[in-house]
């Protein structure tokens, strides 16, 4: 750095310009670093940085320069936050975010400015459905995917009548719709859909309603801090003893320490699990623990790690030049990602085609107990790519 400054000063004195240092690729991280999803944002960034570290700190020979915005999982601030990264910081690539509502605005800004966007969590179906675009990629899931897989599991268990409960925004609505789709295709019936505004946690009146409805099972989408509270409240209400609680796996991912006894035995479906015991996942987990003081990775860390892998594939094809957008994007669309969850490719619409695992909470683990749905592709309704 010092050498560079001296060089620049000398060049200025001579009236010439210094040869620019190799330009870094600018990556804008738009993630929640506060609020109910704060831990999720942190895990995504940790995963992304871990892959970079494993590559010796560069991708395709390029330094990576990070720009960060805390999006607070607040859709009303999403456009402004996205434009900070796009216009002020002039990032080459956006990585974000967790909350579906925020991601919808982020994708719009990415499209309008022709900026490549990698979504490392938010599952809004439309992002790789009716709103799909050449700029947008996802290394996570659609909200439909784990919900649909659990619907089939529940029907196969012989449950006939289910209630769904969630936050009233895209992720909750679509996850429970996915469950309904999978459950009703196999003869089950969702008799009631209950919801409350995001990120509220006053579950009591809704739990009373569930008790009165006496379903065979309850399916839910909650995540982060809200998931901790819901699982605790469900157990405390006594419902857990008679009505099995099922969830998309976010219900118990990254939350088990806080949920403790209340989560034991819960069944969930997700594209990652503990105990996969593959060489790829074992190596990832060992590196993660080493890099982050013994912490165990969760699904969010995996999605962040894979976002970095996806970008690396694009940059390698573009020989490190993020300005070659067509080459970068084509390579990203064609890439096989060697993910800790198991290798996957993206659909034409840009969403992972992936196995959805069935997991059971045992101690502090979401132990894999099977594959609920093999190579599940989102239907990508309305995508015309």
CB of 269 to ligand PHB, least distance (A): 13
- Per rule CB under 6 A, is residue 123 in the interface with ligand PHB? yes
CB of 298 to ligand PHB, least distance (A): 10
Q: Which own/partner pairs from 53-57 qualify as long-range (CB within 8 Å, at least 24 positions apart)? A: 53/291, 54/287, 55/312
Selected from 183, 250, 272, 344, the binder of ligand PHB by CB under 6 A is: 250
Segment interacting with ligand PHB, rule: CB under 6 A, options 95-103, 148-156, 158-166, 340-348: 95-103
- Using an 8 Å Cβ cutoff, are 236 and 204 in contact? no
Burial 264-295 (b: 16+ CB within 10 A, else e): eebbbbbbbbbebeeeebeebbebbeebbeee
Selected from 25, 46, 78, 99, the binder of ligand PHB by CB under 6 A is: 99
The H or E element spanning position 306 is helix 299-317
CB of 37 to ligand PHB, least distance (A): 6
Name which of 31 and 190 has its Cβ closer to ligand PHB: 31
Q: How many helices (H) and strands (E) does the chain have?
A: 12, 15
Question: Which residue has the closest beta carbon to ligand PHB?
Answer: 223
Name which of 50 and 175 has its Cβ closer to ligand PHB: 175
CB of 227 to ligand PHB, least distance (A): 8
Q: Which two tokens stand for residue 268?
A: 């969930």
Kindly report the backbone phi and psi dihedral angles of residue 224, in degrees, each rounded to the nearest multiple of 5, phi listed first.
Answer: 60, -140
Selected from 27, 52, 162, 171, the binder of ligand PHB by CB under 6 A is: 171
Please list every residue from 37 through 56 that binds ligand PHB, using CB under 6 A: 37
Angle at Cα 21 formed by Cα 20 and Cα 25, nearest 5°? 110
Selected from 69, 95, 218, 223, the binder of ligand PHB by CB under 6 A is: 223
Number of residues that bind ligand PHB (CB under 6 A): 12
Burial 305-339 (b: 16+ CB within 10 A, else e): bbbbbbbbbbbebbebbbebbeebbebbbebebeb
* 352-362 and 365-376 strand pairing: antiparallel
Query: Can you tell me which residue has the tokens 């910081």?
Result: 89
Per-residue interface string for the shown chain with ligand PHB, residues 8-37, x marking contact by CB under 6 A: -----------------------------x
Please list every residue from 327 through 346 that binds ligand PHB, using CB under 6 A: none
Distance of CA 378 to CAs 185, 233, 264, 356, Å?
Answer: 16, 32, 30, 12
Name which of 25 and 126 has its Cβ closer to ligand PHB: 126
Name which of 62 and 351 has its Cβ closer to ligand PHB: 351
Q: Which residue, among 318, 315, 288, 317, has the nearest Cα to 302 in the 3D structure?
A: 288
CB of 143 to ligand PHB, least distance (A): 6
Segment interacting with ligand PHB, rule: CB under 6 A, options 118-126, 189-197, 203-211, 343-351: 118-126
- Per rule CB under 6 A, is residue 122 in the interface with ligand PHB? yes
- Using an 8 Å Cβ cutoff, are 355 and 142 in contact? no
Selected from 62, 81, 100, 347, the binder of ligand PHB by CB under 6 A is: 100
Please give the residue ranges that form the binding site for ligand PHB (CB under 6 A): 37, 98-100, 121-124, 143, 171, 223, 250
């Amino acid at each position: 750095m010092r050498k560079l400054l001296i060089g620049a000063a000398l060049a200025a004195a001579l009236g010439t310009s210094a040869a620019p240092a190799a330009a870094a690729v600018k990556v804008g991280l738009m993630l929640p670093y506060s609020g109910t999803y704060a831990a999720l944002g942190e895990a995504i960034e940790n995963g992304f940085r871990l892959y970079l570290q494993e590559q010796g700190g560069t991708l395709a020979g390029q330094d990576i320069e990070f720009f960060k915005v805390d999006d607070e999982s607040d859709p009303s601030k999403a456009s402004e936050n996205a434009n900070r990264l796009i216009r002020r910081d002039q990032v080459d690539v956006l990585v974000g975010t967790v909350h579906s509502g925020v991601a919808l605005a982020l994708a719009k800004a990415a499209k309008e400015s022709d900026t490549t966007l990698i979504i490392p969590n938010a599952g809004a179906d439309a992002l790789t459905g009716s709103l799909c675009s050449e700029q947008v990629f996802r290394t996570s899931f659609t909200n439909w995917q784990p919900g649909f897989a659990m619907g089939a599991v529940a029907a196969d268990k012989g449950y006939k009548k289910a209630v769904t409960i969630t936050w009233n925004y895209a992720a909750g609505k679509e996850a429970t719709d996915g469950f309904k789709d999978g459950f009703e295709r196999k003869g089950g019936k969702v008799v009631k859909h209950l919801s409350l505004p995001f990120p509220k946690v006053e579950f009591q009146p809704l739990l009373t309603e569930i008790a009165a409805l006496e379903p065979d099972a309850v399916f839910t989408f909650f995540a982060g801090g809200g998931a901790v509270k819901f699982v605790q409240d469900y157990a405390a209400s006594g419902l857990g003893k008679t009505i099995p609680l099922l969830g998309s796996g976010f219900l118990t991912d990254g939350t088990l320490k806080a949920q403790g006894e209340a989560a034991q035995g819960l069944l969930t479906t997700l594209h990652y699990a503990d105990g996969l015991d593959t060489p790829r996942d074992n190596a990832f987990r060992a590196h993660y623990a080493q890099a982050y003081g013994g912490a165990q990775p969760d699904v969010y860390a995996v999605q962040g790690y894979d976002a970095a892998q996806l970008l690396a594939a694009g940059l390698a094809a573009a020989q490190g030049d993020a300005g070659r957008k067509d080459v970068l994007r084509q390579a990203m669309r064609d890439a096989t990602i060697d993910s800790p969850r198991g290798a996957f490719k993206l659909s034409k619409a840009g969403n992972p085609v992936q196995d959805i695992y069935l997991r059971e909470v045992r101690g502090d683990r979401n132990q894999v107990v099977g594959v609920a749905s093999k190579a599940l592709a989102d239907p990508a309704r309305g995508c015309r790519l």
